[in-house]
Amino acid sequence: MSKITYLTEEGLKKLQDDLTHLKTIERPSISRQIAEARDKGDLSENAEYDAAKDAQGLLELKISKMEDLLANSRLIDESKLDTSKVSVLCKVRIKNTVNKAEMTYMLVAENEADLKSGKISVGSPIGKGLLGKKVGEIAEITTPAGKLNFEVLEISLG
């Protein structure tokens, strides 16, 4: 059974665009490579043909996974989000209680996570630790680097 993935409008559009690109550009390209390799003769000793067939198998697997993800995705209605506690699509400003460093993250679905743009997955250690916390609460989070404590300073819509 597949799990439901909650996506932003931006994330859903990117997933749809990526899937369309794979189906309309990548798939025909690999089919051409297979046809060209097949035209070169004996398939039993044709490394180009084997490589193209392997690439085709990987592409079809990727397309299948993306279609499954899309089929089990739900678009998040931002107007119904509750900013009284941290949830998916919330932007949360936190402070490390030890070194007083402040950070702002937006919690998103796993496939939309991008640390460079401040988007972290709700499935990451920090994302899991922040879920459900309210302003003023301390989140004790176990990370690979050890236990960290973050105070929730502000919660807003992304």
* pLDDT one-digit tens code per residue, 11-47: 889 889 999 999 999 999 999 988 888 887 776 777 8
Q: What is the pLDDT of residue 109?
A: 82
- Identify the domain boundary among 46, 75, 104: 75
Contact call for residues 131 and 55 (beta carbons, < 8 A) = no
Report field, pTM of the whole predicted structure over 0.75: no
* pLDDT one-digit tens code per residue, 85-141: 888 888 999 999 989 999 999 998 887 888 898 999 988 999 999 999 999 999 999
Q: What is the pLDDT of residue 60?
A: 95
- Identify the domain boundary among 75, 97, 127: 75
- The residue segments making up the domain with residue 20 are 5-75
Q: What DSSP string runs through 6-52?
A: EE-HHHHHHHHHHHHHIIIIIHHHHHHHHHHHHTTS-GGG-HHHHHH
Q: Is the pLDDT of residue 3 over 80?
A: no
- Identify the domain boundary among 75, 100, 122: 75
